Copies of this chain bind each other. A is one copy, B any other.
Amino acid sequence: MELDLAVDAAAERMEERLGLLKRTSEHKAWLQRTLFSASAETAANHLRRWMKATGMEVHYDALTNVYGLAQTSPDGPDAPRIHIGSHYDTVINAGAYDGTLGVLLGIAVVEVIREARLPLRHNLSALAFCDEEGVRFQTTFLGSAYLCGRFDQSWLDKPDEFGKTLGEWLVDRAESIDAVLQNEPYIRPSDCFLEAHIEQGPVLEAADKALGVFTEIAAQTRAEVEVIGRAGHAGTTPGSLRCDPLPVACRMVQAIDALCQSEEAVRATVGRLEVSPNASNVIPGKVRFTIDLRYPDAAGLRARRDRLQTELQRIADGSKVEYRYREAHWADDAILSPAITDALAEACECVQGEALRICSGAGHDSMMVARVCPTSMLAVRCREGLSHHPDEFVSEADCRLALKALVDAVIRLDRGA
């Protein structure tokens, strides 16, 4: 089949699959497909079916990663692999494209290469990571970490909201934890990885371009804050005798928002906040919230985190509450592979005449995979930069262009290697 016709056919299938996976959710009213949910299992079955149909050798591991190997190389199954993919889990009330588009593009690239009977020196591999968002266990990049041999054993003790730990889940799923941990990493230093992902920001749309390349991924940190006061009766305790943690936490939220408003490059968000006991006639006893803080480079992030910590401590010191700040996550910025980025940029130029180079404010599995093998990312325009939201949208034409650019990049990488 001619290459362009193969791309058209694969893009059409991809659009149907996006629709099906958008409905594959824990909830009727919104998209929610988190690790170890029934809808994630259903989605994994669809992915395995589509991978099998291309003739790939398909794997489904104990963590529920799905990946398929297409033996496109004449050098056998151990030849260097070009991995293409992303994650198939979602946040709560998610959009249909975050992660999922990159997964379906990986399968579509294999379909196109197979249907156009293009000879390659590499094997092709389609990846669908089980957990990037970390909703269940707060384990960001869990799926890719495992396939890269970077699984952190301390994650085994992390509980989900029902108190069941990741380790307990794995015992249910696998013969033994040891077998899970001793598995040979599927992603190896001799391989390379291409991840396509929606931009999740407004830059491409403003430039009127469908595609761009991420040259780096911003540094990010996540903290968990506890503000502890004293619960009491809402009707009897006068203001002077209260030790209400909520107004104090609210001052902190405003300080965090002020930081976010102060500079275009910084991102500071309180996404999660919980009040305890959370009853209308009880003065709160405790407030917990998260801080998500990002900046293009790690040194700049560190400076802003330090300044914010000083400000939050000052707010706490001016009140009667007890205050705890715990850093739960830190990731330096990731500089992606210049060679892979250049191949993607050349592919973009080929399909749309120009390649925009962008810093990604969002974290991606590529941060993890980049530690093991050369990695880079294709950015796809999404409407109004909207993401982690049900209105997230990528046009069918843009999905097709992304597929074309990825196929082009694979051919370039295969020849250049």
Contacts and interface: CB of A to CB of B under 8 A. Distances in A.
A106 interface: no
A234 interface: yes
A250 interface: yes
A272 B278 contact: yes
Contact of A235 (B242, B276, B362): B362
A20 interface: no
Contacts of A279: 91-92, 135, 271-272, 388
A270 B279 CA distance: 9
Contacts of A361: 233, 235-237
Interface string A272-311: 1111111111111100001010100000000000000000
Interface string A71-93: 00000000000000000000111
With most chain B CB atoms within 10 A of its CB, the pick from A254, A269, A270 is A269
Given A232-B388, A235-B267, A247-B257, A281 B273 contact: no
Contacts of A254: 247, 250-251
A363 interface: yes
Contacts of A237: 201, 267, 361, 385
A238 B250 contact: no
Contacts of A294: 234-235
B247 A285 contact: no
B290 A93 contact: no
A241 interface: yes
B247 A218 contact: no
27 contacts: A91-B282, A93-B285, A201-B233, A222-B281, A231-B389, A232-B385, A232-B388, A233-B362, A233-B389, A234-B267, A234-B269, A234-B271, A234-B292, A234-B294, A235-B363, A238-B267, A244-B269, A247-B257, A250-B250, A270-B284, A271-B283, A271-B284, A272-B280, A273-B275, A280-B290, A281-B292, A281-B388
